[in-house]
Amino acid sequence: MIKVRFSASRPAGAQCLILPVGKSGLDGASLPGDAAVLRAAAKAARFDGEAGSSFEQHIGHEAGAQRLVLLGTGAGSAEDLEKAGGAISAKLLTSGETDATLDVSGLSASAEAVARMAAAAALRSWRYDTYRTKLPEAQKPTLRDLVIVGAPEGMDAAWAHYNALVQGVSLTRELVTEPANVLYPETFVERCQRLKDAGVEIEVLGEAEMRAAGMGALLGVAQGSVREPKLLVMRWDGTNGAQKKPVVFVGKGVTFDTGGISLKPPAGMEDMKWDMGGAGAVAGAMLALAGRKAKAHVVGVCGLVENMPDGNAQRPGDVVTSMSGQTIEVINTDAEGRLVLCDAMTWVQQRFQPEYMVDLATLTGAMIISLGHEYGGLFSNDDGLADKLSAAGKAVGDPLWRFPIGPAYDKLIDSPIADMKNVGPREGGSITAAQFLQRFVDEGVKWAHLDIAGMVWASKPGTVWDKGATGFGVRLLDRFVADNFEG
């Protein structure tokens, strides 16, 4: 990933120079060299400053030649600048350039907008080439440093916030990208030990502690795997005890999901390494909040298991007793995420008595059928909380779409032999999954469930990610906390 730094003046040398140009602002742009020729060439290439577009040309320099990039910034909104920032890395990451200078002195933009632009450049450059041993030279990243010149006042504070976000999203992407033979409950916990350096308190429950607590639902999912399950608890209190009740985030962390005895089809099963995307988002958000010293009290809990089909695996038809005391008839062992989450939710409510609780999970394939890869699904028992999460998602580019819940859906998961079954009918599968989780929400707790099954992994590049792990949820949770729990 490229490194971003700020400077009062352009560095000496012939490194790539990037100049922002607003929508239809080419005629008024201050350009080096033969400006008239550059304008004519850019117009001939149909460059008009649309956000994220670019025009490239080499110009004369005392060192020989210099790559000049005219970067479209559209109307100059924060969203337009984010598109422009991402476009820098998409264009230059493997271009052969090692250093680039972005001169924003002509932009009328706030420090936060420029920081968001810089963060987009950093995030779009993220790659995970750990296991590539024969990558062709032309495909190897070359761009290492982006120097931003002419930034407005307040840049240090703005960049501190966004740089923390970059680090949090990067952690989430790393966790989601790693293969399941490398990342499993124990090693997930090990990767998150770095949060201690940022001031996050870490607590880990193993199988024995969870069994003593009565987490029969979570342990039922894990019993077919040789990997021991873990409950990872991360706590950040930037209020020095002033906020007594923490905001709670709970993440589904199924580090690999075969479906268990209800085995998934082989085609595409390799994608199930990212069935821990909710837990990954919670870990990344906790790192981001601690990294920027958020003045809030937040607890993140990740239920970490592997769902495997060995001779000891849970069977369809088994009945398990959750930590809450409610019994569950397991109709489908591939509906395992809700079994993990329900015990994690019960534990964190008993331990911290939160007023607000948000869970994140790659919970249902039905969500992808409903929303594709454009929105995460939102379910909530509180309109105010739902509105706050929706607003946060819209502001940062992690959009959510709210779905209904209610008694008509709830009765679909009633079981003839237990308190409930873990799946309903085919219709409304994402909704009945949310109804299942709601049965484990304590009275008075404002709760939301985010089904992000279609959002944690992308088959095509986006504004701030390449193909692969997106880091969805980190920026959303950070903005949700910043807007609602920091005075």
Q: Would you name the residues annotated as active-site residues?
A: 264, 338
Q: In what order do the strands lie in the sheet with 376-380?
A: 201-205, 230-237, 297-307, 247-257, 356-361, 446-451, 376-380, 400-402
Place of tokens 């350039």: 97
Secondary structure percentages of the chain, helix, strand, coil, to 5: 35, 20, 40
The answer to whether residues 445 and 348 touch, using CB atoms and an 8 Å cutoff, is: no
What's the token pair of residue 317?
A: 């038809």
Judge residue 457's burial from the number of C-beta atoms within 10 Å of its C-beta, 0-12 exposed, 13-18 middle, 19 or more buried: buried
Residue 317 phi/psi, 5-degree rounding, is 100, -15
The amino acid at 33: G
Q: Angle, to 10 degrees, between the axis of helix 155-177 and the axis of helix 474-484?
A: 140
Residue environment code for 117-145, b if the CB has 16+ CB neighbours within 10 A, otherwise e: bbbbbbbbbbbbeeeeeeeeeeeebebee
Q: Are 330 and 277 in contact (CB under 8 A)?
A: no
The phi and psi torsions of 184 (rounded to 5 degrees) equal -140, 180
- Residue 70: how many CA atoms within 13 Å on its side-chain side? 31
Distance linking the first and last C-alpha atoms of the chain: 33
Which amino acid, one-letter code, is at 230?
K
Residue 361 pairs with which residues in a beta bridge? 451
In degrees and rounded to multiples of 5, residue 10 shows phi and psi of: -70, 135
Q: What is the DSSP string of 58-98?
A: EEEETTEEEEEEEEE-TT--HHHHHHHHHHHHHHHTTSS--
Report the alpha-carbon distance of residue 17 to residue 61 in Å, rounded. Answer: 11
